[in-house]
Structure 1
Amino acid sequence: MADTGIPHFCNDLGVTLIEVGSKEFMCIGAKPPFDHPHIFIDLGDDTEHVCPYCSTLYRYNPALAAGEAKPEECVWHDDPEARTAA
């Protein structure tokens, strides 16, 4: 993943709702290698959006900083070293 400044969120936990502190982000579904196509979501004036692939409901929470999520485990950071060590 190139460092684009757009947060990526995953849903390995299988939760129905992920609160996010960003209005523009990517949903990847589960963590690789079980991810779905990475979907760019722009909430615009809306506060909620459902991912068309994994049906996760994302809700904007202005109390969270950009790139943060509740639950925290839903923030995904690509770590190439972790992939090569596996």
Structure 2
Amino acid sequence: MAGSPIPHFHNQQGHAAIEIGVKEFKCVGSKPPFDHPHIYLDMGEDDERVCPYCSTLYRYNATLAFSQTMPEGCAYVENAA
């Protein structure tokens, strides 16, 4: 993903698992101001990864677009200050 923006995902709703269309991403936990450090995660050869901060289980789904999630609405876009 060199040269590409890293997508950010959140789990504001407390889902047991979130499917995403990328293997390299950042987890922010909940939306600010209740977020945790925005941690970079890489699934590598695996199809799942658990965030060490919030324990959200992320699953890779090749049918999803870059910032698409299942359930919907878990992509996070940082506001430019």
Bigger share in helix? 1
Common topology (TM > 0.5): yes
% same residue: 56
SS in 1 for 2:73: helix
Unaligned runs of 5+ in 2: none
The offset of 1:79, in angstroms, is 2.7
What is the aligned partner in structure 1 of residue 22 from structure 2? 22
Taking structure 1 as the reference length, what is the TM-score of the superposition? 0.84
1:5-84 pair list within 5 angstroms: 5-80=5-80
Match of 1:72, SS state, is coil
Q: In structure 2, what is the Cα distance between the partners aligned to 1:33 and 1:64?
A: 28
Tell me the TM-score normalised to structure 2 length: 0.89
User: Aligned equivalents of 1:15 and 1:54: distance in 2?
Assistant: 11
Amino acid at match of 2:8: H
Provide the aligned C-alpha RMSD in A.
1.3
How big is each residue's C-alpha offset from its partner over 1:17-70, in whole Å with a ceiling of 9 and x where there is no partner?
000001100000000110001110111110001100100000000000112111
Q: How many residues align?
A: 78
- d(CA) in 2 for partners of 1:71 and 1:8? 15
Tell me which stretches of 4 or more aligned residues in structure 1 moved more than 2 Å.
none
